[in-house]
Amino acid sequence: MLLIEPSAVIARGLESVFAGQGEFEVCGILSDLSHSSEARIRNMAPDVMIVDPVVFDYSTRAAAKSYLSELSSAMTVGLRTTLLDDGSFKQYDEVIGLYEEPAAIVRKLRGAVESRQDAPRSEGEELSSREKEILVCVAKGMLNKEIADAYNISIYTVITHRKNITRKTGIKTVAGLTVYALLNNLIDINSFE
Amino acid sequence: MTKKDNTIFSAGMKLADMLDINPGLLSLLLRVGISFGFGDETVEEVCLRSGLNVNTFLLICNVYTFDGYRPGAALMHKAEPGDIVKYLHKSHDYYLHMADESLLTALEKAVEPCDEKRKWMIRKFFKDYREELAKHFEYEEKVVFPYVESVLGHKASPDYNILQYEENHSNVEEKLSDLKSIVMKYLPRECSDHDIFQVLFMIYALEDDLRKHTFIEDDILVPIVNRLEENEKE
């Protein structure tokens, strides 16, 4: 996690709050967005950036998110330290405030990270060869347990593969996956007629 | 009317103007029993002549037109549950006979260049989807609607309660969404773009209609009937 906060007192305070809670670790603190700071953000590649919008001046504040997303694909969290209008905070994935309980802050961050992981990724993705094998089994009507046994993997791994197959193809039902497998020549219709 | 019911639609406006605002309402007319040739009659006049509660009609039109619309208590109170059931019932006919028939015809045309085994597979998928849809409607036709009629006639069986009617459209929705992905992304390149477009257009329209239909069942009919049940007990 990267903190972008001009006040050293607040930054150190947050850092110790997160250290106390575990789960999230602060990997760097920046007090401004100078050129050297930009370079550090690129190098650090944080998972989450906690940003106090006062580091932006009035004219760039509204476009903060697009500016940050050019530097890093990290999730952005707005930190409310002063009375800024709500509009400045709308663009962030989550907003935390100075007076919130540490546990509540961690909960919010966790929720935001999870919902981000669930969101469909933008890059086009081919099925991996293992996923194709699993898909064929699903199309043939095998149960998760049977697939796990056949490949000597855990049932949870099978479920993860199935989730990824659905995410990549956009197809949820077994019947739909069977059609997909056939259209892509992964199975032969004679195998289950 | 509460503020949220205060949409641009009103009983006093011309039906023709309303349809001009949202042509998507055209397919509703068939289902609530309004015939064309209504001239310059207002919504209220047409409803009166067609034996339809005008508040029910406005409520359904609002759901079909404004995303995220939720009727206020006052309009819910004025709506006629019998008319809502009539709409739901006619919608079932509409989905199973008109919408699905045209979708199947368009789908057949789109997959025409595919080899026989692929055609067979896609047909089978569509058939499964349709059976699922029919099965789902059958429960409503045989259990839920007669029950609502009995509540309206003050002859409700104490063994059933409208809240037991837990909706589960998810299978139907998933299958339709899968069909959309398959047609959009995975049909062989030989298939005609024009034919694929036609199919997708129909699926999107059907999906949207089914969503509105579900909303009217779960968030309008169920609470109204539940209120009647409560009144009956008192």
Q: What is the CATH number of the domain that holds B27?
A: 1.10.3910
Convert the pLDDT of each residue in B10-46 to its tens digit. Answer: 999 999 999 999 998 998 998 999 999 999 999 999 9
- Whether residue A151 is found in the same domain as residue A84: no
- Of A40-54, A113-127, B202-216, the poorest mean pLDDT is in A113-127
- Whether residue B109 is found in the same domain as residue B9: no
User: Has residue A102 been placed in a domain?
Assistant: yes
- Whether residue B168 is found in the same domain as residue B228: yes
Closest CA to B220 of B24, B7, B61: B61
User: Has residue A53 been placed in a domain?
Assistant: yes
End residue of a domain, out of B76, B111, B140: B76
Strand order, beta sheet including A48-51 = A28-30, A2-4, A48-51, A75-80, A94-97
Burial class from Cβ neighbours inside 10 Å (0-12, 13-18, 19+) for residue A191 reads exposed
- Whether residue B90 is found in the same domain as residue B72: no
Average pLDDT over residues B123-149: 91
User: Has residue A123 been placed in a domain?
Assistant: no
- Whether residue B59 is found in the same domain as residue B164: no
Convert the pLDDT of each residue in A59-96 to its tens digit. Answer: 788 788 888 888 888 888 989 888 877 777 888 888 99
Report yes or no: B132 at the A interface, CB cutoff 8 Å: no
- Whether residue B137 is found in the same domain as residue B202: yes
- Of A53-57, B92-96, B137-141, the poorest mean pLDDT is in A53-57
Residues of A in contact with B117 (CB under 8 A): 182, 189
| Predicted pLDDT of residue B3 | 46
Integer-rounded Cα Rg, in Å, for chain B is: 20
- Whether residue B215 is found in the same domain as residue B108: yes
The tally of domains found in chain A comes to: 2
Average pLDDT over residues B102-128: 93
- Its ipTM equals 0.80
Reduced to 3 states, what is the DSSP secondary structure of residue A36? Answer: helix
Alpha helix positions (H), chain A: 8-21, 35-44, 58-61, 64-71, 102-118, 129-139, 144-151, 155-169, 174-183
Residues of A in contact with B185 (CB under 8 A): 169-170
- Of A6-20, A113-127, B103-117, the poorest mean pLDDT is in A113-127
- Whether residue A71 is found in the same domain as residue A106: yes
The tally of domains found in chain B comes to: 2
Tell me the nearest-neighbour CA distance from A186 into chain B, angstroms. Answer: 12
* Confidence grade of residue B181 (pLDDT, cut at 50, 70, 90): very high
Tell me the nearest-neighbour CA distance from B132 into chain A, angstroms. Answer: 12
Pairing of the two strands A2-4 and A48-51:
parallel
- Whether residue B119 is found in the same domain as residue B159: yes
Percent of chain A scoring above 90 in pLDDT: 28
Helix or strand run (H / E) with residue A184: none
Tell me the nearest-neighbour CA distance from A153 into chain B, angstroms. Answer: 28
- Whether residue A85 is found in the same domain as residue A6: yes
- Whether residue B92 is found in the same domain as residue B150: yes
Interface test with B, best of A166, A179, A187 (most B CBs within 10 A): A179
- Whether residue B118 is found in the same domain as residue B205: yes
CA atoms within 13 Å, Cβ hemisphere of B202: 19
* Confidence grade of residue A27 (pLDDT, cut at 50, 70, 90): confident
Report yes or no: B155 at the A interface, CB cutoff 8 Å: no
Q: What is the CATH number of the domain that holds A146?
A: 1.10.10.10
User: Has residue A38 been placed in a domain?
Assistant: yes
Report yes or no: B12 at the A interface, CB cutoff 8 Å: no
Assess whether pLDDT exceeds 60 at residue B207: yes
Number of Cβ pairs < 8 A linking chain A and chain B = 52
Q: What is the CATH number of the domain that holds A52?
A: 3.40.50.2300
User: Has residue A124 been placed in a domain?
Assistant: no
- Whether residue B71 is found in the same domain as residue B85: no
Q: Minimal Cα distance from A124: which residue of B?
A: B185
Higher pLDDT, B159 or B78: B78
Domain containing A23: what range? 2-118
Tell me the nearest-neighbour CA distance from B173 into chain A, angstroms. Answer: 10
- Contact check, Cβ <8 Å, B181/A176: yes
End residue of a domain, out of B76, B108, B138: B76
Domain containing B127: what range? 81-233
Whether this model's pTM surpasses 0.80: no
- Whether residue B170 is found in the same domain as residue B222: yes
- Of A91-105, A129-143, B22-36, B200-214, the poorest mean pLDDT is in A91-105
Assess whether pLDDT exceeds 60 at residue A52: yes
- Whether residue A105 is found in the same domain as residue A137: no
Residues of A in contact with B127 (CB under 8 A): none
